[in-house]
Structure 1
Amino acid sequence: MTSAWHQHPIQPVSNARTQAARDQFARLAGPPGSFGVLEELATRMAGMQNRLDPRADPCQITLFAADHGVCAAGVAGMPPEVSPSLVRNAIQGGSPSAVLARALDTRLEVVDVGLMHDPGDIPGLIRRRIAPGSTDFRATPAMSDQQLHTALTAGREAVERAAAQGCVLFGGGEIGAGKSTAAGAIACALLGLPPESIAGPGSGHGTPELLVRKAAVIQQAVDHHQRFFSTPLDVLRRLGGFDTAALCGAYIACGQLGITAVVDGFCSSVAALVAVTLHPPLKSWMIFGHRAAEPGQFAIFHTLDKRPILNLDMRHGEGTGALAAIPLIRAACALLHESTPPTP
């Protein structure tokens, strides 16, 4: 690779400030831990920001748009031809992620890192297209070394834009066809699990035939590439896509720049798994927004010893789960620095 920025160290989280936040909660009315997940969120935010009055705003959601060559295997619930319309709808404000971002006063941007079909002139679309979709990874690597580096860097650039706006929370998401199959292949390779336990419905209808086909394709790809795996980036390059790589780069940049990463659903969780496998301290900078209706995400939670904030049975992707978690993070921060102990 031409640059090794992704190898730079991750900022430490202040354990002392985390404990001070716990002590502050202990002075409030109620038994220790009585605020549950809100207390956990608030104390973690205090440690990440090294302050007893942590903030949850401003925040940014970046959606990385890319299609996957493995769509040729008939595993996608939608064809790549649909992706440009999804991108257009998100930028023009009509998609679920755009609606949630607007309601939550959250900055939303869309980055084209690898759509197969040019969405045309859309004001506001950030163009970082690496190629018209990744390669079908059943027999060849999904991307080259240079393409992987470019995708990782596109993720870092998104976090740098967020930092320039003063953002303290960053959430990522993805738009495109074939993403859950690619994510499932990465998860199987990194976790050593059979594809039948990972393959889920994705954005399709989850018919038995589709799930069987996805599992078979994932197994074929892992069998073909596994002798070449030596690092998590090898797995990502051979089995992933430009969107997954960009998300991975974004999460690494969050830890390097001291910004909390709010992780979305299954595909985003797989990118987080790659990032944490590369940099274990990154786990402390991640908040998992929700438990998606995808079986593979359970294994990731178990491996990373993480629990999501919400269980909404969603599998839409596009950052919607990360967005849904933002109000609770805001509430947790307010609870910590605005509550006062009762007076005698």
Structure 2
Amino acid sequence: MNALQNLNIEPVENDELRKLLQYNINQKTKPVGSLGFLENLAMQIGLIQQTTTPQLKSPTMLTVAADHDITAEGVSPAPAEVTWQQVKNFLNGGGGIGLFCRKYGLELFVVDAGVNFDFESHPRLIDKKIRKGTRNFLKEPAMTIQECDRAIQNGRDVVASLAEKGSNVVGFGEMGIGNSTPATALLSVYAGIPVEECAGPGCGLDREGIINKAEVIKKAIEKHGISDRPEENLATFGGLEIATIAGGMLEAARQRMVILVDGFITTSAFMAAYAICPTVRDYAIFAHCSGEPGHKQMLEHVGARALLNLDMRLGEGTGAALAYPIVEGSVAMLNQMTSFGEAKVYNVADKLGQ
């Protein structure tokens, strides 16, 4: 199996459509450009859907969970069992992601990509478990190439199913104690940034803990080296949830869906997807800039601007859920805001030739 076969992600650029969208945006009753980045969002979504009247349908949040044996190296202050406990919490509508999805109208599903626990079936749980956590990548690759490929394919399959049911906007979040360590490793590997410049506290490490975390990652990179194949680096240093999200993002772009990218760990998955197929960037909206220090570097690496900056670092998809109303607002502006002609308001832009 090769999860990257049949991965045809088309660029969204369409010069004629861009001109039409820009004209429509400029005809709204406002000074040209006065809604700032909201206008950019409307343009992007119109180009993704190849229409001047885009619609957001059945918005869905996928919170993908897995465990990590790298926690044996003291890289997280939280015990591993918090992963499965939080998954149960999310399935019951709890946690930040349960609240914000309910508040802002996203349908939440939790994907078990590799949690060290056996869950009972649940209508909101999607079982894509490959193994009960990744291996300790200080000692051996986190995943085999085959396991990583399966995780990517699992992500693609889940998102393809959503698209088949009519969803055209999907947010991604994660849950996994210790997963800021693989995310930091991937940032260093993909962006070429020294580990000590991008390691942060994760879910609460003190200064000594951050130093230890950086040393663990540095030793692992020295041991395994860096491949010129992005999926091999993902297998070596990543996580089952990270690979699953990367696959989901690639499939979402293939399906011409709007992708809502959450914080630090989710953006590490996006970095993997971006390294595999750069045109995935056209379909991604970056919800917020995390309080985790390395997230700003991730956003810079992929040339992204975040919608929000609230110093959040909860994960789960919470930032993406909070940003969704802004995305809705951009589409509403394009489709529903009155034009100068409709409102019979003097249009300065027409007189200036804008």
> So what's the TM-score if we normalise by structure 1?
0.95
Paired residues for 1:49-198 under 5 Å:
49-120=49-120, 122=122, 124-198=124-198
Cα deviations by residue, 1:206-241 (Å, 9 ceiling, x for unpaired): 3101111111111111111115x1211111000001
Letter paired with 2:127: R
Find the aligned partners of 1:81 and 1:123 in 2 and give their Cα distance.
22
* Residue 266 of structure 1: how far off its partner (Å): 0.5
Question: Does the 8 Å CA contact 1:90/1:110 hold for their aligned counterparts?
Answer: yes
Query: 1:322 maps to what in 2?
Result: 320
Is 2:108–2:124's contact at 8 Å kept on the other side of the alignment?
no
Report the Cα distance in structure 2 between the residues aligned to 1:57 and 1:201, rounded to whole angstroms.
37
2:112 aligns to what SS in structure 1?
Answer: strand
The code of the aligned residue for 1:124 comes to R
In structure 2, C-alpha distance between the alignment counterparts of 1:341 and 1:119, rounded to whole Å: 53
Q: 2:292 aligns with which of 291, 294, 297?
A: 294
Distance 1:239 1:213 in 2: 17
Identity %: 33
The answer for the alignment partner of 1:219 in structure 2 is 218
Distance 1:210 1:18 in 2: 49
- Within 1, Cα distance between the matches of 2:101 and 2:57? 13
- The superposition leaves residues 266-308 of structure 1 with CA deviations (integer Å, 9 ceiling, x where unpaired) of 0111111111111111110100000000111111111111101
Give the 3-state SS of the residue equivalent to 2:225 in structure 1.
helix
Q: Report the Cα offset of residue 70 of structure 1.
A: 0.4
Bigger drift between 178-187 and 294-303 goes to 294-303
Residue number in structure 2 paired with 1:42: 42
**Range with greater deviation from structure 2 (114-123 or 244-253):** 114-123
1:33/1:212 Cα in 2 relative to 1: closer, same or farther (>3 Å)? same
The structural deviation recorded for 1:120 is: 4.4
For residues 158-202 of structure 1, give each alpha carbon's deviation from its aligned partner in whole angstroms, at most 9, with x where no partner exists. 211221221111111111111000100011111111111111111
Question: Are the equivalent residues in 2 in contact too, given 1:199–1:211 (CA < 8 A)?
Answer: yes
Q: Which moved more, 1:326-335 or 1:144-153?
A: 144-153
Q: Secondary structure at the match of 2:307?
A: coil
Could you tell me which amino acid in structure 1 is paired with residue 8 of structure 2? P
Q: Secondary structure at the match of 1:309?
A: strand
Counterpart CA distance in 2 for 1:237 and 1:316 is 25
Shift in CA distance, 198/327, structure 1 to aligned 2, threshold 3 Å: same
8 Å contact 2:3–2:150 — kept in the other structure?
Answer: no
Distance in 2, Cα, partners of 1:280 & 1:9:
11
- The alpha-carbon deviation at position 6 of structure 1 amounts to 4.8
* Alignment-derived partner of residue 244 in structure 1: 242
Aligned twin of 2:310: 312
> Unaligned regions of 5+ residues in structure 2, if any?
346-354
For 1:51-86, what per-residue CA distance to the aligned partner results, in whole angstroms no more than 9, with x for missing partners? 111122321111111011101101013111121110
RMSD: 1.4
**Residues 125, 221 of structure 1: CA spacing in aligned structure 2 closer, same or farther, 3 A cutoff?**
same
2:188 aligned partner, one-letter code: C
- In the TM superposition, what is the alpha-carbon distance from 1:11 to its structure 2 partner? 2.6
Once the two structures are TM-superposed, the CA of residue 152 in structure 1 deviates from its matched residue by: 0.5
So what's the TM-score if we normalise by structure 2? 0.93
Residues in 1 aligned to 2:107 and 2:10: alpha-carbon distance in whole angstroms: 24
Instruction: For residue 313 of structure 1, give the secondary structure of its aligned residue in structure 2.
Output: coil
Equivalent position amino acid for 2:153 in 1: T
